[in-house]
Amino acid sequence: MAELRWHPLTKDWVMIASNRQERPQMPKDWCPFCPGSGKVPEDYEVYCYDNDFPALSQNPPAPDAVETAFFQTAPAYGKCEVILYSPRHTATLPELSDSHVEKLVDLWCKRFEALSADPNIKYVFIFENRGDAVGVTMPHPHGQIYGYPFIPKKIQLETESAGEYYQKNGKCLFCDLWQSEQEFGKRVIFQNKHFIVFLPFFTEYPYGVYIMSKAHRRYITEFSEEERRALAVTVKQTVGMLDGLFGYQFPYMMCMHNAPVNGEKDYSNDYHFHIEFFPPMRSAEKVKYNASSETGCWAHCNPTCPEETAEELRAAYQRYQMSEV
């Protein structure tokens, strides 16, 4: 079974993908993403791999016969791809060279363009799940790209808020956000010519940093070559900072927010590329669980003070910088 089901209470689509339950537990001594597996080229640096158990496909099956006058279904149209960061099974982003991560950024851009070329895809989402704490079963360094036939609810809320802000103020909400964080200063972790990394004033997670472009860009594909290089270094340094926080590979969900695609609105004025991190840890040993308040009514509670945790992150960034010298 693979289909979309309409959630009338939240006005959102839910992907039903029972085929993903069939994913096998990989043998400890074999990885499909490693050269020699027969699944990937024998020689690659970064690589795009079609998900073997996709929640969405460009040739979806017909939905099950469960639709009624009240319950609505739709084909699970879309695309699910895996992006392999390195042929090395245990490599981490901070261990890769700057030039290697630049190739990863170029591959993200290439696949974003390819998925956006499908007029039935309305949102392209680049992301990475990392670590056991977020349910990752495949340790080989990789991320994913989903092409949705709809605009997911959070992106819809962001675009609506940004549009309302622009209509009222004549300015980009995201530009004002990063500039206000820069002016306040206490939650800024580090920055360079093109990107700023900060712990937002409103962060829902203790270490939920944002990477935001200083230039007003809708899509990752709109960055210049210099900006792509800067993005590669910024992502690498951000992950290195998180790993240095408690001295182990830090689990996280990394989510890239681009503007929607293939719609009537072009978002030129009011949407802005950024990356949001959702690390599940609230200390070295304790996980920040999403309990009833967060899950049941989306009312988040951060158990830490952002200004204080920003100090921790700046110290971790300094340690990472020293280790790179």
216 among known catalytic residues: no
Give 10-residue mean pLDDT values along the chain (325 residues). Answer: 92 85 64 94 96 94 94 96 97 96 98 98 98 89 97 97 98 98 98 98 97 98 98 98 96 98 95 97 91 92 96 96 82
Range of the domain at 33: 2-324
CATH number of the domain bearing residue 227: 3.30.428.10
Please tell me the pTM assigned to this model: 0.95
Catalytic residue among 140, 142, 257, 274: 142
Number of domains composing the chain: 1
- What pLDDT sits at residue 254? 98
Q: Give dist(CA 270, CA 163) in Å, integer.
A: 6
